[in-house]
Chains A and B, each alone.
Chain A
Amino acid sequence: MFSGAPFGQYYPGESPVHRLDPRTKIVVTGGLVVVLFFLYRWPAFALVGVLLMGGLLVAGIPPRLLWRSLRSILAIIAFTFVLQLFMTPGPVWFRLGPLTATWPGLRMGMVTAGRLVLLILSTSLLTFTTSPIALTDGLEYLLRPLRRVGVPAHEIAMMMSIALRFIPTLLEEAEKIMKAQMARGADFQSGNVIRRARSMVPILVPLFVGAFRRADDLAMAMEARCYRGGEGRTRLRVLRMGASDLAALAGSAVVMAAALVLR
């Protein structure tokens, strides 16, 4: 039932992109996300698009998976496109009842759609090629300088890993509870919005009760193994930047700079 959900979409592999240091990938993706919002002209979009497609190709991500993550935000893209098309003032393209579509609106709509698509592609490239564990490791390292100003970097990373770890567990449990309630004649499909929302109560209450109990158990198990936060904690996998990381950073920096020039 939930097996199609785009959670934990890590696609295991051994490609050069997979092997990059997670910090490299996080920094490049973060940079791209910022750069994307300055882009306005076609050549700039094309340049970033080529960089991303190259990365996805090298990583060997099946187009089917790519389409699945794009499909989930298709409605949002369509919605913003229509909004831009009709809400931007300027020379009229056509009229639809009380609404007027404008030429600048068309352009703005396409720019926004392009930004969103590239945004999804870049974050997908990161999550497809980086395991959740590597991701949080990288994030913890990158957040470390912020500890000076009181950001609990280790705790944030640990919370993220735990949350990621338990998403599949919770989904499985939700499915099990749902089936148990269906066996008692519950119906989650029919009725209006309010009825349907109410029908979620028999799922959510047991789910939360179970989650709290599990959190207690987990805390106990962590303490039993002497967990005491990030102080003095060493790591099993030590992150190391290699030559390929430097090359990837430099290459993407050049492309991003070029895109900003062309924007």
Chain B
Amino acid sequence: MPIWVEDLTHIYLPGTPMEVVALEGVSLEVRDGEFLAIIGPTGSGKSTLIQHFNGLLRPTRGRVVVGDLDLSDRRVNLRRVRQQVGLVFQYPEQQLFEETVLADVAFGPRNLGYPPEEVDRRVEQALEMVGLGREMLERSPFELSGGETRRVAIAGVLAMGPRVLVLDEPTAGLDPRGRQEILSRIRALHADYGLTVVLVTHQMEDVARLAQRVAVLDRGRLLMVGSPREVFAQAEMLDRVGLGTPVVTRVMRLLQERGWQVRTDVLTEEEAEAELVRVFGENGRLPLRDARLPGGTRADGGPASGGTRGPGGGCPPGGGDGP
């Protein structure tokens, strides 16, 4: 289910001294079935934007169309929109309130008026989608681990059966394992269950790894939309707004600055590894094993095996000091 945002402007508390323009003239399309990442520094309007996707906020100006429903039409049944577009807020575990996981995940489908058997079926399916088993059903959401409670909260949204899942920084405040679990679940929701996913995040690595398209927001304006490769090619722009690029992209850029002929459009560790093998490996001068060792580079930051090098000079360290 696609979402169209047209020339969207949102102003908080208009006409008061506290007036804040949170979004200004944003036009964006969420394509059916895609994985879209929205990135931007704190206060850039990310959260305001996604709250328009399911009608929690109404545009001050502009239009939001979800599927065939124009949300500016006051007759639109917002509950139907909210069923189609599931929104997972930041720290969603803070909204849990029931005594058991079962009852909490069932809150959404019950609100939608499904019969009890259907509610149960949806709860079980939703828990399965986030990788939690039946044994969770009767436990209290307040006695689970951080990653587990968050998955329960995400299940609470999935149980409504949305076609689009919007997540606002779903990994914030989790330990590395919790983060990985959530991310691999989100990836599966997109790949295996065919959900359209919109991910708001500060983690450029996650964007590089997961997203098909990226939208960059800064101070309420849409700076650019494109594939991760296109967006991360604009390293200067991203640095200027305070977002930066994935670590591996930065490493490649630094290598290039020092005269190594490496590609700088790598996004993931796997791509970086392949590129490093290509550049260093084929020469046999610098086995990758050594390149990874701390101290593999000199204190002055030059390449480990030194030698002559210059801009454009055929990258590998120069002649004389070979094996």
Within 8 A of A (CB), among B80-115: 82-83, 86-87, 89, 92, 94-97, 107-108, 111-112
Contact among B79, B95, B142, B160 with A181 in the assembled complex (CB-CB below 8 Å)? B95
Contact among A180, A185, A201 with B95 in the assembled complex (CB-CB below 8 Å)? A180
Q: Write out the residue numbers on chain B whose beta carbons fall within 8 Å of the beta carbon of A176.
A: 89
Q: Which residue of A has the minimal Cβ distance to B18?
A: A3
Contact among A186, A205, A206, A209 with B111 in the assembled complex (CB-CB below 8 Å)? A186
Interface residue tally for chain A (C-beta within 8 Å)? 18
Binding site for A on B (CB under 8 A): 13, 18, 51, 54, 56, 79, 82-83, 86-87, 89, 92, 94-97, 107-108, 111-112, 142, 156-157, 160
Distance of A118 Cα from B92 Cα, bound (Å): 46
Main DSSP-derived SS at the A contact region: helix
Q: Write out the residue numbers on chain B whose beta carbons fall within 8 Å of the beta carbon of A75.
A: none
Tell me if A184 counts as interface (CB < 8 A to partner B). Answer: yes
Tell me if A182 counts as interface (CB < 8 A to partner B). Answer: yes
Q: How far is the CB of A14 from chain B (nearest CB, A)?
A: 16
Are B97 and A206 touching (Cβ within 8 A)?
yes
Contact among A186, A187, A206 with B94 in the assembled complex (CB-CB below 8 Å)? A206
Distance of A184 Cα from B13 Cα, bound (Å): 25
A-B contact pairs, 22 of them (CB 8 A): A176-B89, A179-B51, A179-B56, A180-B89, A181-B95, A181-B107, A182-B82, A183-B82, A184-B82, A184-B107, A184-B111, A184-B157, A184-B160, A185-B82, A185-B108, A185-B111, A185-B160, A187-B79, A205-B97, A206-B96, A209-B94, A209-B142
Are B107 and A183 touching (Cβ within 8 A)?
no
Q: How far is the CB of B273 from chain A (nearest CB, A)?
A: 40
Given contacts A183-B82, A185-B83, contact A177 B111 (CB under 8 A): no
Tell me if A202 counts as interface (CB < 8 A to partner B). Answer: yes
Within 8 A of B (CB), among A153-193: 176-177, 179-187
Q: Write out the residue numbers on chain B whose beta carbons fall within 8 Å of the beta carbon of A201.
A: 97
Tell me if A210 counts as interface (CB < 8 A to partner B). Answer: yes
Q: Which residue of B has the minimal Cβ distance to A182?
A: B56
Q: Which residue of A has the minimal Cβ distance to B109?
A: A185
Are A183 and B86 touching (Cβ within 8 A)?
yes
Q: Write out the residue numbers on chain A whose beta carbons fall within 8 Å of the beta carbon of B112.
A: 185
Distance of A179 Cα from B86 Cα, bound (Å): 12
Distance of A61 Cα from B268 Cα, bound (Å): 59
Q: Which residue of B has the minimal Cβ distance to A213?
A: B94
Contact among A3, A202, A210 with B107 in the assembled complex (CB-CB below 8 Å)? A202
Given contacts A179-B51, A184-B107, contact A206 B95 (CB under 8 A): yes
Q: How far is the CB of B147 from chain A (nearest CB, A)?
A: 18
Given pairs A185-B160, A206-B97, 6 additional interface contacts (CB within 8 A) = A177-B95, A179-B56, A180-B89, A183-B56, A185-B79, A185-B82
Are B79 and A210 touching (Cβ within 8 A)?
no
Distance of A179 Cα from B51 Cα, bound (Å): 9
Q: How far is the CB of A54 from chain B (nearest CB, A)?
A: 25
Q: Write out the residue numbers on chain A whose beta carbons fall within 8 Å of the beta carbon of B86.
A: 183
Given contacts A206-B96, A206-B97, A210-B94, contact A184 B108 (CB under 8 A): yes
Q: Which interface residue of B86, B94, B96, B142 has the most chain A CB atoms within 10 A?
A: B94
